[in-house]
Structure 1
Amino acid sequence: MSEQVELSPEDIIARSPSESFQDLLKRETVNVPDALRESTETYLGSEDLAVERYTSKDFFDLEVEKVWRKSWQIACRENRLRKPGDYFVYDIVNDSILLTRTESGALKAFHNSCLHRGRVLKRGAGNSDNLRCPYHGWSWDLEGEFLGAPCQWDFPHVTKENSKLHEVKVDTWGGWVFINMDEDAPSLREYMEVLPNHMDQWKHEQRFVSLHIEKVIACNWKVALEAFIESYHAIATHPQLMSFQGIDNSQYDIWGDHVSRTISAYGVANPSHAEQFTEQQSLDAMMELIGVPDRPQLAPGQTAREMYAALNLPVANEQAGEDFAGRTTMSELMDSTLYLLFPNFAPWAGNGTVITYRHRPNGDDVDSCIMEIFLLTRYPQGTDSPADAPTFRLGIDQPFSEAAEVMGAGFANVFNQDGANLPQVQKGLKASKKGAVTLGNYQEVRIRHFHQTLDKYLQAK
């Protein structure tokens, strides 16, 4: 470990002296949601983190027992379980959870293991009026009640009462289905802390998945997750974003044990690079990223931020079937406002199409993970949800550019840059002589918050 330096109060509260996100909100012409007005600026210490947290199989195995089997985590969207008989299988490390929609319309979740010889009951997703094991034919109804088995005479010790499927806690929020394997877990609402109060206004339940990318990456799941809870890396990793993202003055917030947030403003040049770009160049770079060939010209005195918000407004209106004019901020139409619910649910806020990230272990491999990108698009209230987009899967050696046809070349390039870093981080951690990683006090406070919460789970009885 490196030697720790005692800090003065001035050092502890230090952050970018440039214009803050809260300063940008002062330019809004409509009411700003209270959630965006919050700014916590919390100091959580300056201690290093041991590299074994990312490389040790023993540490990984402890996470399985104390985190993945104890925390609330998203399994799928509710769209996957619309009709009675719909089922979906969610796998996390060596656990497999079978979710069903019952005839009564309720959601159920079970450990996906036959009570006879252990075979998984279902794989993937589909629709069935019962849960029948393909191996020997033992079956259960959608409520988990035992229906019987071939040659029932040979099993007088097996009864309906002692052969119900083992249930898992299940709940929903924002159109997502959550599960928790801990019978003593708090309710989902209690676990989510401030997140529903912040996010409900952006109606994640009134959205469908317009894009779903799933990619295997050669790094520990936390290495990948951490790249998306700080914006500091963008300065070196994503130089093409510097003309229109205020990375230096991203706002970082934490609440309780489970919730944190980054807000990075769009439509403003990064403060360290501001003198290099005009407002028009900032706007042109945003248009290039999203693949729009037209280059709208700014009016005299108009900012790139104002124009980009104006361009996004009619798109958001059409998607939602509402008129947001006069009641949504520029921030809600463009900024990257990215929350994290521990351990791995990372939804964006806003009134347009938003991203959700999920990072989870790839089976029981400490050195690889599955990264998922969901785009959630609004649809008008009172109409049926469009069908979710099919999953586009990328293997460990396939770059994100192979998904450019569905996500756009500009975004694929950004994710390629992250994808190039992450396996090299894992390799470098294993090669580290220092044996530790060092974090910034402000820009990487969410990583520290994540690990402090992780420790609380690992140390729990």
Structure 2
Amino acid sequence: MAESDPRIKGEPLARCPGPSVRDLMAADTNPVPEFLYTDEYENLGSEPIPASRYTDPAFFELEKEKMWPRIWQFAAREEELPEPGDHVVYDNAGKSFLLVRQQDGSIKGFYNVCLHRGRQLKTKDGWSAQLQCPFHGFTWNNDGSVKTIPCRWDFSHLNDDAMHLAEVSVGRWGGYVFLREAKDGPTLEEFLAPMPEHFKRWRHEECATAIWVGKVCKANWKVVMEAFMESWHTVVTHPQLLPFTGDANSMYNIYGDHVNLTVTPFGTMSPHIDPQGKSQQWIVDEFVKYNGRSSDNYEGDAAPEGGYNVKVPEGKTAREALGESLRATTTKMFGHDVSHASDAEMMDAILYNVFPNWSPWGGFQPNIVYRWRPWHDVDHCLMEVRIITRVPPGETPPKAPKMKFLSLDQKWTEAPELGILGDVFEQDMENLPFVQVGLRSSPNNRVELANYQEIQIRQFQNTLMKYVNGQL
């Protein structure tokens, strides 16, 4: 991209030598959407981040007061509450909310609290014809209007309008359901921009949750979340991925305050690997063994390693061979014709981060969806991983499975449904609790960030401070 391109504000930042995302996309089998290879970022400087933002209980309270109530929070998928009367309990940052499917198909959101003495109305997801408090029996209709006040003679001071359940705003997009406490602020579509335009190709509303696992992690929610905002930790943390991952060649885009995009190319060797003597077939074989989104999820001839057998024809690249194979198997498995899809959309890590704690993958493969939430205190969080897959045409989306909960002492590998992804997440866990300890021990209260490869972390931290300081 020319240095004068308006999508780069300030001086262009240094990039790793080797094939760029743009170079790889130029050689793609099918046309690639321009937004997947166009740089768009602003030089955000090199100032350090205070380590105390991850460890200080007072800052944790500021987040709860200033930030969480003002942002759109991903609270559920549509398939979690398919029928009228279905409800989902969403807890975060010390508050509890209820999402309830209405008779007309809409979804209402309420504070999950009885207006009598404050008990949570529901503690689990499920179905109910009404919302009744288990303490004294105060009862509301599913639309939030009061139905029954026990011993009404003793509550002459209450009227029905005042006893309507307090609502929160609800937004729906792409099969995802969001809520926001604040009444003012950007619409959901404005908050997510430019994702709604990008995802017109991938249509997550045609998908449903197939796997859902959550684990308590011994680190601040931002520590864990930010570990998924850059790919260059692969070289040390996930060395088995280097044969087919262009880790340091990733593209990092930022869009305004709330959204960013990472494109990490697969089917190409890391710039940290000596290519001497390495074949395109070797790249494919390593991809099949260790890529968690593709190797264990497809039918096919068993390779010696137990993965899917993909042969690289003479004169073809690993990316071309993988793209062709994945297009064929995806079409076969899910009934959606993806013959038009680019190699990039079939294999690359196309990860969007939406402020502050939600990250869906793009592309045509079964997609990973991350969510991180504080877990009781500044030093713990709940990390959730969903795999969403395409629903075959004409079929009704299955109801989402319940989240499999892994406690602090359990490992990601105790969720075998994640396949090789569980091993990858465990490698991350070997770092993150010790990051939390190290941040508490920091003698200079400084976290230093790379200018380009960690630009999304800086964008996130800048946006967080705008909320904390009342600027958003």
Shorter chain as denominator, the TM-score bin is over 0.9
227-236 vs 24-33, which moves further: 24-33
Which residue of 289, 292, 299 maps to 2:313?
299
Q: Using the TM superposition, name which of 394-403 and 114-123 deviates more.
A: 394-403
The residue type equivalent to 2:173 in the other structure is W
Could you tell me the TM-score, scaled by structure 2's length?
Answer: 0.92
* Amino acid in structure 1 at the alignment position of 2:352: Y
Structure 2 partner of 1:313: 327
1:74-113 mapped onto 2 (5 Å cutoff): 74-113=74-113
CA–CA distance in structure 1, aligned partners of residues 199 and 319 of structure 2: 23
User: What's the counterpart of residue 421 of structure 1?
Assistant: 431
Name the CA distance, whole Å, in 1 between partners of 2:213 and 2:338. Answer: 29
Give the one of 373, 386, 393 matched to 2:405: 393
Partner secondary structure for residue 71 of structure 2: coil
Give 1:219 deviation, angstroms.
Answer: 0.2
Q: Which moved more, 1:241-250 or 1:394-403?
A: 394-403
CA distance in 1, matches of 2:332, 2:129: 38
Q: Quick one: which amino acid aligns to residue 453 of structure 1?
A: T
Q: CA deviation at 1:29?
A: 3.0
Alignment check: 8 A CA contact 2:219 2:433 kept: yes
Give the secondary-structure state (helix, strand or coil) at the position aligned to 2:160: coil
- 1:10-159 alignment, distance < 5 Å: 13-159=13-159
Corresponding position of 1:207: 207
Deviant stretches of 4+, over 4 Å: 9-12
Q: Find the residue that maps to 2:243 and give its secondary structure.
A: coil
* Residue type at the aligned position of 1:232: W
Alpha-carbon distance in structure 1 between the residues aligned to 2:462 and 2:165: 35
Alignment gaps of 5+ in structure 1: 1-8
Percentage of pairs with the same residue: 41
- Separation in 2 of the partners of 1:60 and 1:80? 30
Q: Which of residues 329, 337, 341 in structure 1 aligns to 2:342?
A: 329
Q: Is the 8 A contact 1:215 1:394 kept in 2?
A: yes
Deviations 1:56-99 (A, max 9, x none): 00101000111111100111111111111111110002110011
Structure 1 residue 274: Cα displacement: 4.2
Amino acid in structure 2 at the alignment position of 1:370: L
Structure 1 residue 262 and structure 2 residue 274: aligned? no
Q: Is the 8 A contact 2:169 2:182 kept in 1?
A: yes
Amino acid at match of 2:429: G
Secondary structure, aligned partner of 2:199: helix
Measure, in 2, the Cα distance between the counterparts of 1:318 and 1:447.
38
Partner of 1:279: 280
| Secondary structure of residue in 2 paired with 1:254 | strand
Q: Distance in 1 between the 2:32 and 2:308 partners?
A: 31
Extract unaligned runs of 5+ from structure 2.
Answer: 1-8, 297-305
Give me the whole-angstrom Cα distance separating, in 1, the residues matched to 2:422 and 2:446: 31
1:407 aligned onto 2:381: no
Aligned residue runs from structure 1 range 156-235, under 5 A: 156-235=156-235
Structure 1 114/66 Cα, relative in aligned 2: closer, same or farther at 3 Å?
Answer: same
**Take 1:411 and 1:64, find their aligned partners in 2: how far apart are those partners?**
31
The answer to whether the 8 A contact 1:400-1:413 is kept is yes
* Mapped contact 1:137–1:149 kept (Cα < 8 A): yes
Equivalents in 2 of 1:319, 1:159: separation in Å?
56
Q: For the Cα contact (< 8 Å) 1:168–1:179, is it kept in 2?
A: yes
The code of the aligned residue for 2:157 comes to H
CA positional deviation for 1:434: 2.5
Residue in 1 that maps onto 2:5: none
Partners of 2:343 and 2:402 in 1: how far apart?
31
Alpha carbons of structure 1 residues 233 and 84: separation in structure 2 relative to 1, 3 Å: same
Within-5 A mapping of 1:340-351? 340-351=353-364
Alpha-carbon offset, residue 43 of structure 1: 1.3
Q: Say if 1:319 and 1:379, in contact at 8 Å, map to a contact too.
A: no
2:380 to 347, 368, 393: 368
Distance 1:106 1:145 in 2: 16
Q: In structure 2, the residue corresponding to 1:242 is in which secondary structure?
A: helix
Find the aligned partners of 1:305 and 1:28 in 2 and give their Cα distance: 8
Change (3 A) 1:257 1:147: same
Cα distance in 2, alignment partners of residues 318 and 294 from structure 1: 15
Return 102-111 or 383-392, whichever deviates more. 383-392
Q: Which moved more, 1:36-45 or 1:418-427?
A: 36-45
Q: Partner letter of residue 459 of structure 2?
A: H
SS at match of 1:210: strand
Q: Distance in 2 between matches of 1:146 and 1:11?
A: 59
Residues 116 and 402 (structure 1 numbering): CA distance in 2 closer, same or farther, change over 3 Å? same
Residue aligned with 1:361, SS? strand
Cα deviation 1:165-196 (Å, max 9, x = unaligned):
00000011111110001122321112112111
Residue in 2 aligned with 1:381?
393
| Residue 447 (structure 1) aligned with residue 457 (structure 2) | yes
Cα distance in 1 for residues equivalent to 2:19 and 2:454: 19
Quote how far apart the aligned CAs of 1:151 are.
0.9
How far apart, CA to CA, are the structure 1 residues paired with 2:190 and 2:308? 47
The question of whether the paired residues in 1 share the 8 Å contact of 2:213 and 2:385 is answered with yes
Structure 1 residue 243 displacement after superposition: 0.2
* Maintained 8 Å contact 1:315/1:352: no
Q: Cα offset for 1:293?
A: 3.2
Alignment partners' CA distance in 1, 2:361 and 2:321: 22
Secondary structure of 1:275's counterpart equals coil
